[in-house]
């Protein structure tokens, strides 16, 4: 009779060890899956940051080239303005014919520019919450 009572207790301990082992394996699997997911999200975020920064650099280069062209036209316009302002009118009329005067005036008008940088990539970068605005 003693043999029968000890057998269920022994089996309960065996099942308890088995259950603890199964729970441990499931927990390790879940933790491993979470770690892989975190790694993958970090990798995706880094790829997005690199793409946005590359696009930002390209946008800034384009704006820089456009701004350099505008500055050059404004400089030419200022030179023509200085020439016309500093030269007496009778000398201007004697030095420049009608076509040359039109060219000088056109040069002045070509210097009337405003610069509007492209802000699409900057706005996209700020909207992505990948950088702080502080």
Per-residue pLDDT tens for 53-105? 899 899 999 999 999 999 999 999 999 889 888 888 888 878 888 888 888 88
15-65 residue pLDDT tens: 888 899 999 999 999 999 999 999 999 999 999 989 988 998 999 999 999
What percentage of the chain exceeds 90 in pLDDT? Answer: 40
In tens, the pLDDT along 3-14 reads 454 566 668 788
Selection from 38, 64, 56 nearest residue 127 by Cα: 56
Q: Enumerate helices (H) and strands (E) in the chain, giving the number of each.
A: 4, 0
For the chain, which residues make up each domain, given as ranges? 2-127
């Amino acid at each position: 009779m003693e043999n029968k009572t000890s057998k269920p207790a022994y089996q309960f301990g065996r099942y308890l060890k088995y259950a603890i082992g199964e729970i441990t394996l499931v927990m390790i699997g879940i933790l491993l899956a979470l770690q892989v997911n975190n790694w993958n999200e970090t990798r995706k975020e880094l790829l997005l940051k690199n793409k946005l920064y590359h696009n930002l650099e390209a946008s800034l280069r384009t704006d820089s080239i456009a701004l350099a062209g505008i500055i050059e036209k404004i400089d030419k316009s200022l030179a023509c303005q200085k020439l016309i302002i500093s030269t007496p009118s009778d000398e201007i009329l004697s030095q420049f014919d009608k076509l040359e005067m039109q060219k000088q005036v056109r040069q002045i008008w070509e210097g009337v520019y405003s610069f509007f940088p492209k802000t699409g990539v900057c706005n996209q970068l700020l909207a992505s919450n990948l950088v702080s605005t502080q």
